Amino acid sequence: MAPFNLQTCARPNILALEPYRCARDDYKDDGKNILLDANENAYGPPLPKSAGAAVSASGGPEIDLLGLHRYPDPHQHDLKQLLCNLRNTHHHTSKTITPENLFVGVGSDEAIDALLRCFCVPGQDRILVCPPTYGMYSVSAQVNDVGLVKVPLLPAPSFALDVEKINATLSSEQGIKLAYLCSPGNPTGSLLAKEDVQRILEHPTWNGIVVLDEAYIDFSRDGSSLAEWVAEWPNLVVMQTLSKAFGMAGIRLGAAFTSPPIAQLLNSLKAPYNVSSPTSALAAYAISADGLSAMRANRQKIVTQRERLLKELARIEGVGRLRGGTESNFLLFEMLNSKGQPDNVTALSVYETLAESQGVVVRFRGKEHCCLGCLRITVGTEQEVTRFLSALEKSLSEVRSAKGSLPVDEAAKEVQASGVVA
């Protein structure tokens, strides 16, 4: 077991933090109490009485829009239990995780930031990331004045962890408190090997936390999630979201599974009512039996279109190799110049032409490590994929007719290449 010590890893001011408490922590609302403790508007929101009924009219979840004048549950115990039920598969441990293992917040981004504030002293500590990877790790680090150490993934197409170099870096570099690992990777689409993650968790001297970002995990094969593994490892955090496979990006609901002591710290430092009542109700429905059935049906449609894209893209002149895996709802493909080589000018030209001439928006990822000439393509509906394939052929033809490049402003290149939105 790794030499993890929460008392020396976390910031002293966070360990000593007294979380915000409200009267309803002591006196639960049973529906009969007169609630005069939180300075709410007792007359309710300025919505018609039919508003609440309209939400559930189509057979979806019932949301009490007329109850929006009350603050949401600060603890979200019922929602956390549903998330535990979903991830207690016992593929990786015989132990069972409970709501005490959970932090829920505004997407995974709140957890990314909360972990930095919990463990990293500004201007002193650092985090480790493995590019190419999700950009918000470095953005949040910069916002919090936390340093960044990069250990790139092994070259494409594997995009596996360079475990030897990661562990050597954790041994030699001072002040690294968190290692953010993305599985499946963004933009790689590759699932990290469980044994590689374990080797980092077992580092013999590093007193830090492995943060595993599983935003796309439900597009991977069953049993891939390591969320329940937090019952075995006190220095593991597994982040998930309802934004991807569950198609609920608009409600901004993320979860961090971890050991109860770390979960307690994260819950202590969060805003008191960070998850809204509509978000909680919609999330609970999404991971109910009916919601899971619908999610899995939609996921199968995405998988079908993913397989279609893999076949069709291989036949299009000017499209190069798949760079990465197929464990997500996107694919990373090279765009080739007139010499048949992956090329950023060509890829950026195709990216712009797709958007400006064809009305199809993808992501240019060519400036990421080992992603030369690459576009990241989200798998859409059958109709969207049909339109994309046609638009891509037209765009590649247009770029080729312009001798492989279009005039691109260098400043615009930088902006387009450095975005961090998922």
Q: Per DSSP, what are the bridge partners of residue 211?
A: 180, 237
Cα dihedral 393, 394, 400, 404 sign: negative
Q: Is residue 310 part of a domain?
A: yes
**What pLDDT, on the 0 to 100 scale, is given for residue 364?**
97
Residue 180 corresponds to which amino acid? Answer: Y
Q: Is residue 55 part of a domain?
A: no
Task: Please check whether residue 203 is in contact with residue 2, taking contact to mean a CB–CB distance below 8 angstroms.
Answer: yes
CATH number at residue 398: 3.90.1150.10
Q: What is the DSSP letter of 41?
A: -
Say how many domains are in the chain: 2
Same domain, 353 and 309: yes
What pTM does this model have?
0.92
Same domain, 306 and 171: no
Same domain, 140 and 214: yes
User: How many Å apart are CA 312 and CA 308, to the nearest integer?
Assistant: 6
Domain stop point among 264, 287, 310: 287
Domain stop point among 224, 257, 287: 287
Q: Is residue 373 part of a domain?
A: yes
Same domain, 278 and 305: no
Q: Is residue 42 part of a domain?
A: no
Q: Is residue 319 part of a domain?
A: yes
User: How many Å apart are CA 161 and CA 375, to the nearest integer?
Assistant: 22
Task: Please identify which residue in the block is written with the tokens 């953005």.
Answer: 139
Task: Please identify which residue in the block is written with the tokens 């829009």.
Answer: 65
Same domain, 331 and 271: no
Q: Is residue 250 part of a domain?
A: yes
In degrees, rounded to 5, the angle at the alpha carbon of residue 18 between the alpha carbons of residues 12 and 23 is 170
H or E element that contains 263: helix 260-269
Same domain, 304 and 263: no
Q: Is residue 61 part of a domain?
A: no
- pLDDT tens string 211-248: 999 999 999 999 999 999 999 999 999 999 999 999 99
The pLDDT tens digits along the chain (422 residues) read 678 999 999 999 999 998 888 777 777 666 778 887 788 888 888 877 766 555 555 566 677 777 888 899 999 999 999 999 999 999 999 999 999 999 999 999 999 999 999 999 999 999 999 999 999 999 999 999 999 999 999 999 999 999 999 999 999 999 999 999 999 999 999 999 999 999 999 999 999 999 999 999 999 999 999 999 999 999 999 999 999 999 999 999 999 999 999 999 999 999 989 999 999 999 999 999 999 999 999 999 999 999 999 999 999 999 999 999 999 999 999 999 999 999 999 999 999 999 999 999 999 999 999 999 999 999 999 999 999 999 999 999 999 888 544 444 443 444 344 444 45
Relative to beta strand 126-129, strand 176-182 is parallel
> Residue 175's domain spans which residues?
74-287
Domain stop point among 255, 287, 319: 287
Same domain, 126 and 267: yes
CATH number at residue 185: 3.40.640.10
Same domain, 166 and 315: no
Q: Is residue 300 part of a domain?
A: yes
**What pLDDT, on the 0 to 100 scale, is given for residue 52?**
59
C-alpha closest to that of 347 among 359, 332, 327, 329:
332
C-alpha closest to that of 383 among 296, 305, 298:
305
C-alpha closest to that of 68 among 44, 36, 37:
44
Same domain, 162 and 251: yes
Q: Torsions phi, psi of 69, nearest 5? A: -80, -10
